[in-house]
Structure 1
Amino acid sequence: MFYFLLTLNAVMQIVAKNATMANTIAVIMFLFSRVPFTHAYY
């Protein structure tokens, strides 16, 4: 899970240049946090 978050963080920093994309990523992160399968990484 740690490396998965590091990868997401790197992608977010690259995409954050575009405010719309940053908002989209934030929504995706919110959805991922509510999906049970993501807990498999723990």
Structure 2
Amino acid sequence: MKWHTRLRDENSFFNRIDINLSGIDVGILGVDNCGKSVLYNFILTH
């Protein structure tokens, strides 16, 4: 298994958990260097 990360728009916050054939997509609300709210997705793939 391998972890991948990507940046997602805040609008997806309420749909941050997606389960599909490629794995489990889990979004975590975080804060970037500029203090802006960003949603980081950690995608668990196999």
TM-score bracket relative to the smaller structure: under 0.3
Structure with the bigger percentage of strand:
2
TM-score by length of 2: 0.23
Relative contact order, CA 8 A, sep 6+: which one is greater?
Answer: 2
TM-score by length of 1: 0.23
Structure with the bigger percentage of helix:
1
